[in-house]
Amino acid sequence: AQTVTQSQPEMSVQEAETVTLSCTYDTSESNYYLFWYKQPPSRQMILVIRQEAYKQQNATENRFSVNFQKAAKSFSLKISDSQLGDTAMYFCAFMKHLGGANSKLTFGKGITLSVRP
């Protein structure tokens, strides 16, 4: 079974600074998908970024980028120019296949990020 570990329970960053959230996972699969989801105080789960394991290039979405290290099974999220609206809980998630019976998301425990004004 796959496991996702987020070992930092909380982090804090100054507005406009850069912060990196860590995630490691364990799987015997060679191809899979990794995600970061954001959960603000409203509790809505919002997809931030997606990475396919077969792609060597790290995914980027505006101020959000990932550092995907397949051999190390590491998948960190970098948030540049942090904004107050980035304050939220961030979940790292693993998916074996995009569709079918193995497309469930396995989540880490999450990390609470606070952006200070």
Partner 1 sequence: DSGVTQTPKHLITATGQRVTLRCSPRSGDLSVYWYQQSLDQGLQFLIQYYNGEERAKGNILERFSAQQFPDLHSELNLSSLELGDSALYFCASAGGIYNEQFFGPGTRLTVL
Q: Total residues contacting partner 1 (rule CB under 8 A)? A: 22
Quote the tokens at residue 26.
């364990």
Nearer to partner 1, 13 or 33 (CB): 33
Q: Which is nearer to partner 1, 85 or 99 (CB)?
A: 99
- Examine residue 105 and tell whether it contacts partner 1 (CB under 8 A): yes
Considering only residues 2 through 61, tell me which ones interact with partner 1, judged by CB under 8 A.
37, 42-47, 50
**Cα(46)–Cα(70) distance, integer angstroms:** 24
Q: Which is nearer to partner 1, 16 or 98 (CB)?
A: 98
Q: How far is the CB of 116 from partner 1 (least distance, A)?
A: 25
Do 85 and 39 touch, CB atoms closer than 8 A?
no
Beta bridge partners of 79: 19, 64
Q: How far is the CB of 117 from partner 1 (least distance, A)?
A: 27
Is 70 a residue that touches partner 1 (CB under 8 A)?
no
Reported in sequence order, the residue ranges of 6-98 that DSSP labels E, i.e. its strands, are 10-14, 19-21, 24-26, 33-39, 46-52, 60-61, 64-69, 74-79, 88-95
Cα 49 to Cα 61: distance, rounded to the nearest angstrom: 7
Which one of residues 3, 14, 62, 102 is an interface residue with partner 1 (CB under 8 A)? 102
- Residue ranges that bind partner 1, judged by CB under 8 A: 37, 42-47, 50, 91, 98-110
